[in-house]
A and B are shown apart, each in its own frame.
Chain A
């Protein structure tokens, strides 16, 4: 309060905000917060006021309260360049004087004076806050003008670049595990083609889901929701990724891989996305969508769809369930309000049962790998610890059915898959071994 008096109404009007943290994803939140706490070892960082997109902090340093304030920004600067402002912000630290409490022992006149002072300060603050709130609201209005500087970032978020990277890595793993000599050109073409196809599919998904994404915490900062890009541009981007991507796969790799890529885009955008709002079967369709990229990698390398490809696809298929079911457990409120048909909302017991079932299936599938000549017998043995661990977490989730067990299972799934694929690659049956065996037999 005394800070407002000190700053004067104009300062208060411009809004005291400090630390413009970009809205972190749910997953990243704990890490960033811990980082903040780690950095400020002598400071207490407390949440004073949660404002939309802006956070205000009161910090305590050496027992004195201080408030960091940002000087008024140049109004000419385009609001879209908010992120650039971060680096240029100068924060000013002002000390907040503690407000002295009203003592009843004071004389009447001084009482009245103080009361007047407090009142006028309150009035000033009220006006300031009312005006401040309104001007803050006004500031939140943004011109829908596409800034070319922001375009790469916007397109990256539109195409869910991190998810795309994961998809490309599973396709690459499929390519590498395939029992053929490694061809670098083919590998690169496959990776790029799969990446483009994934970008296209993700963009169309976001294009379809704008009002639903607005209503869910996890997705409310997507580019189309925020109006950073028009729907037309999003669709054009998707088309300009899909066409070269599928063409690259079909012509540069082989038609089978191209067909699988096109089919996967169709499955994700036209089956999975609408089905999310109609039936819980969407989870199984989504699992197939996740299983296809490694199959694509395998077919890119070998040119044919054989048992090894289906095994890899099966492993990814089974993995999707503990991953997604655990994630969806914490989003039940948003799904219910937004009208999404997910197992976690409609059939919670089945949700946990299916997750556990597929964790155990992973053990079985890992054992199938040497039988199908994909890996040596080392693989089921080496992968047993991590498979048992995820099954254990799956069991805990099944039994406890609470937020902490679901989060543990989800985070485990994030490192379990890359580790499993890596182990598979290291235990890959060497081609020389195979050739020797076939020579011996003949």
Chain B
């Protein structure tokens, strides 16, 4: 699906996170291969409509539960705006990596724990009907405690970094908003002057 031809005078609309709009079947695989990391990155297969000049947010990611954002690049983007957008993109990738790996390791750990406990009880992973046997919350409590303590240091580092990034992004947003308002005021003044 090629990007729709921009309307006359609209100027090119570019979307960060989707370098080109391919057909879906080819797109996600190709882009994922280009980037060299995990496939099924939802952002790579979605193309916002050409006329839109806002960011688009997608459904939660399968692994990280975070919602990917496809950022819009305005044609008159200032250096500050560009810095903000790139920082947000970078933070998104960093967040995605952390939470995806966290959730995947949680699921894996949980599976292993359940398997080992069931084995100790002399049971199979699945019962006669083919359904997976689950342990009660009380039995899982040991795993939850263990997982939390194992990942504590990781979380401490992540928290510090997240707070820093969150503040930076919000501060940059404030600066960009102020800059835009100032520009608009400047244009109005020149219009009035003329």
- A positions within 8 Å CB-CB of B: 52, 134, 137-138, 140-145, 207-208, 210-211, 214-215, 220, 225-227, 230-232, 235, 274, 277-278, 330, 332-333, 335-337, 339-341, 345-346, 348, 401-403
Given the complex of chains A and B, what is the CA–CA distance between A420 and B160 in angstroms?
A: 41
Within 8 A of A (CB), among B112-167: 137-138, 140-141, 143-145, 147-149, 151-152, 154-156, 158-159, 162-163, 166
- Whether a CB of chain A sits under 8 angstroms from the CB of B93 is no
- A214 & B66 in contact (Cβ 8 Å cutoff): yes
Contact of A141 among B46, B65, B143 (CB under 8 A): B46
Given that A140-B59, A231-B169 are known contacts, is A337 also in contact with B145, CB under 8 Å in the complex?
Answer: no
- A339 & B138 in contact (Cβ 8 Å cutoff): no
- Whether a CB of chain A sits under 8 angstroms from the CB of B106 is yes
- A231 & B173 in contact (Cβ 8 Å cutoff): yes
Given the complex of chains A and B, what is the CA–CA distance between A251 and B82 in angstroms?
A: 43
- A144 & B46 in contact (Cβ 8 Å cutoff): no
Which single residue of chain A is at the shortest CB-CB distance from B72? A144
Most buried by A among B24, B148, B169: B148
Q: Which residues of B contact A330 (CB under 8 A)?
A: 137
Could you tell me the distance in whole angstroms from the C-beta of A386 to the nearest C-beta in chain B? 28
Contact of A274 among B140, B149, B159, B174 (CB under 8 A): B159
Report how many residues on chain B are interfacial, defined by Cβ distance under 8 Å. Answer: 48
- B57 & A332 in contact (Cβ 8 Å cutoff): no
Given that A274-B159, A337-B103, A401-B138 are known contacts, is A134 also in contact with B67, CB under 8 Å in the complex?
Answer: no
Q: Which residues of B contact A144 (CB under 8 A)?
A: 54-57, 69
A selection of 7 A-B contacts at a CB cut-off of 8 Å is A140-B58, A141-B59, A214-B99, A274-B163, A278-B156, A337-B102, A348-B141
Contact of A230 among B46, B70, B173 (CB under 8 A): B173
Which single residue of chain B is at the shortest CB-CB distance from A75? B49
Could you tell me the distance in whole angstroms from the C-beta of B65 to the nearest C-beta in chain A? 5
- Whether a CB of chain A sits under 8 angstroms from the CB of B177 is yes
- A335 & B144 in contact (Cβ 8 Å cutoff): yes
- Whether a CB of chain A sits under 8 angstroms from the CB of B89 is no
Given the complex of chains A and B, what is the CA–CA distance between A352 and B55 in angstroms?
A: 46
Contact of B177 among A232, A339, A346 (CB under 8 A): A232
Q: Which residues of A contact B147 (CB under 8 A)?
A: 336-337
Contact of A214 among B54, B65, B144 (CB under 8 A): B65
- Whether a CB of chain A sits under 8 angstroms from the CB of B95 is yes
Contact of A337 among B70, B106, B170, B177 (CB under 8 A): B106
Q: Which residues of A contact B60 (CB under 8 A)?
A: 52, 214, 220
Q: Which residues of B contact A137 (CB under 8 A)?
A: 42, 46, 58-59
Given the complex of chains A and B, what is the CA–CA distance between A207 and B170 in angstroms?
A: 10
Contact of B148 among A210, A226, A336, A402 (CB under 8 A): A336
- B145 & A346 in contact (Cβ 8 Å cutoff): yes
Could you tell me the distance in whole angstroms from the C-beta of A337 to the nearest C-beta in chain B? 5
Shortest 8 CB-CB contacts between residues of A and residues of B: A227-B57, A336-B144, A339-B155, A140-B59, A232-B173, A144-B55, A141-B58, A145-B54
